[in-house]
Amino acid sequence: MKVICAGFPKTGTKTMYAALRELGYSVYDFDENFWFLRREWMKILSGQSEDSDLWREMYSDVDAVTDLPASFFWREIHRAFPEAKIVLTLREDSSTWLDSMNHQIQVLEDNFIFRLMCFVCPTAIWMRFMVNAIGKVVFNAAPIWPWQWNYVSRSNGVRMKEVYDKHNENVLQFAPKDKLLVFRCQEGWSPLCKFLNKPIPDKPFPHKNIRGGVVAEKLLENSPLICRLQLEFKVAIATVLIPVVYLFFRNFWLK
């Protein structure tokens, strides 16, 4: 482990994921943490393990982590990998961050295909359990109905902003100063590359998930998680459609 991105979602985590990959790092974002380490994470989120050996085992072959749940557990990961550098990504203030979170949640809530996947795909059902466990640990809240984070966020926005501010304060206070970069994505390559001792790429700095576009972006990727969800969704739809088409032809077409 070389880089721990301690910023909360909607502070540029998807941009950091793309930037770090461009710099040659292997990176675990939420997708990879869920796909490869969900059993370990469910154990951690349920309070069953605080063993540093588990963290070292989980990330022995990984260069960097971004997004929840890893960003919330930055101190535990850093204890296991004390030479790792820490990048704290920030928004202008907690209100701007919450507005962006609410918009992202609304995009997911309004996406019919995504919501349907959450009920018919076994992998998405697993994701619901993990997302809800993250919500309970990080925000002390969980949706009253699967994926109904819009309700939680809008009804308890003060609490969410307090959690966001407290998390950032903890990073600023407890992270080793010589290993910490406070970073805003609009600053671009220069401060990040200087901090990581990397040459500046001959490419524009990436900007991902602008205005909550992560759904469209992710559906175009070929990650194992997205491919699995797409396969399970097709199987689920086919399982429903084939009997319906058969009954239609038998009862109406063949009469």
* Pick among 3.40.640.10, 3.40.50.300, 3.40.1790.10, 3.40.50.970: CATH of 3-253: 3.40.50.300
Higher pLDDT pick, 177 / 147 = 177
Assess whether pLDDT exceeds 60 at residue 50: yes
What does each C-alpha distance from 23 to 17, 93, 102, 135, 183 come to in angstroms? Answer: 10, 28, 31, 31, 16
User: Could you tell me the pTM of the whole model?
Assistant: 0.83
Query: Over 80: is that where the pLDDT of 145 sits?
Result: no
164: which residues sit within 8 A by CB, 6+ positions away?
8, 94, 97, 98
In the structure, what pLDDT confidence band is assigned to residue 174 with cuts at 50, 70 and 90? very high
Question: 43: Cβ–Cβ under 8 A, 6 or more apart, which residues?
Answer: 49, 54
What mean pLDDT, rounded, does the chain reach? 83
Nearest 5°: CA angle at 227, between 223 and 230? 140
In this prediction, residue 220 has a pLDDT band, given cuts at 50, 70 and 90, of very low
The region of weakest confidence among 12-26, 43-57, 81-95, 169-183 is 43-57
Smallest Cα–Cα separation from 9: which of 146, 75, 79, 103? 103
Beta strands 3-5; 85-89: pairing state: parallel
Return the exposure string of 200-225: e unless at least 16 CB atoms fall within 10 Å of the residue's CB, then b.
Answer: eeeeebbebbeebebbeebeeeeeeb
| Higher-confidence position of 112 and 168 | 168
Which of the four pLDDT bands, split at 50, 70 and 90, describes residue 229?
A: confident
